Amino acid sequence: MATAAEWISGARPRTLPAAAAPVMVGTGAAAQIDASAWLPALLALGVALALQVGVNYANDYSDGVRGTDLDRVGPMRLTASGAAAPGAVRRAAFAAFGVAAVLGLALCAVTGHWWLLAVGAVCVVAAWYYTGGRTPYGYRGLGEVAVFVFFGLVAVLGTTYTQAGTITWPAVLGAVGVGLIACALLMVNNLRDIPTDVLSGKRTLAVRLGDHRARRAYIAMIWVPVLLAAVCAFWAPWSLVVLLLIGPATLLSIPVLAGARGKLLVPVLAGTGLYELGYGLLLWFGLTA
């Protein structure tokens, strides 16, 4: 039986910034037009965090039963390691999705935007079929597309809309920026796993691009968002504070461009999560100041 610490590790807390950052940016975009509301923001944050935990457990379960995590570099997987029964991990995933659904219902009740229930349902389906089902789209190189759409566009623009009732250009630019960094988080994770994914037949985007081009894609994914935040300065001059991330972006770029592999990419993965959190915090400040 898995310990509490192992269940927490299985939830992959280092990925949670990918859920929190878009809510920060979306709330900042709403505040930029004096329309922010803290209750919808907190509910949106709860939905995002629960979905992230759910997709992490779902991936653990699906990859574990397929055998693609048997020879893995990085955090322990509950299913593949045998620490938890596959059924228990699957139930944990759906429990997290259930929490997201309850909070989503509350968000719709508070804002009156009931049509967002359909968006939430699509998010849950996308989360499960990333590595679940007979033909998971994550195995066909479409993981970054889904991450960009759901953890970038949907999360940021949905947060702004539930508070302001409209979408602004800073919200769109921020959504693209956050989505790209979320893609970078997945890209560096899959870059680390290229050798094992090739053997298991998992055709992630990193596998399809190859090692060299995957590294260049990662670099673009962390640098372009800084430029997009600078463009937000036309509406909110303090958005230029995001330029403080030039230093961290440089530090993350060095090992990737130097050819770091395997365990040497684990710190880059953790750093990219913190980078996304920093982006969300700084752009939130810049839009609200």
Amino acid 29: pLDDT: 97
Report helix, strand or coil for 242. helix
**Could you give the angle at the alpha carbon of 59 between the alpha carbons of 132 and 17, nearest 5°?**
135
Distance separating alpha carbons of residues 63 and 136, to the nearest angstrom: 10
Q: Please name which of 271, 273, 277 lies closest in space to residue 254, comparing C-alpha atoms.
A: 271
Amino acid 5: pLDDT: 86
Mean pLDDT value of segment 95-119: 95
Q: Report the share of the chain in percent with pLDDT over 70.
A: 97
Query: In the predicted model, what is the mean pLDDT of the chain?
Result: 92
Question: Is the pLDDT at 4 greater than 90, yes or no?
Answer: no
Read out DSSP for 142-161?
-HHHHHHIIIIIIHHHHHHH
Out of 43-52, 151-160, 185-194, pick the least confident: 185-194
Are residues 260 and 176 in contact, defined by beta-carbon separation less than 8 angstroms?
no
Question: Is the pLDDT at 72 greater than 80, yes or no?
Answer: no
Q: Is 232 exposed, middle or buried (0-12, 13-18, 19+ CB in 10 A)?
A: buried
Question: Is the pLDDT at 133 greater than 70, yes or no?
Answer: yes
Task: Tell if the pTM clears 0.75, that is, is over it.
Answer: yes
pLDDT tens digits, residue range 161-215? 999 999 999 999 999 999 999 999 999 989 998 888 888 788 899 999 999 999 9
Are residues 10 and 60 in contact, defined by beta-carbon separation less than 8 angstroms?
yes
Query: 């979306």: which residue's tokens?
Result: 26
Are residues 29 and 171 in contact, defined by beta-carbon separation less than 8 angstroms?
yes
Q: How many CA atoms lie within 13 A of 133 on its CB side?
A: 13
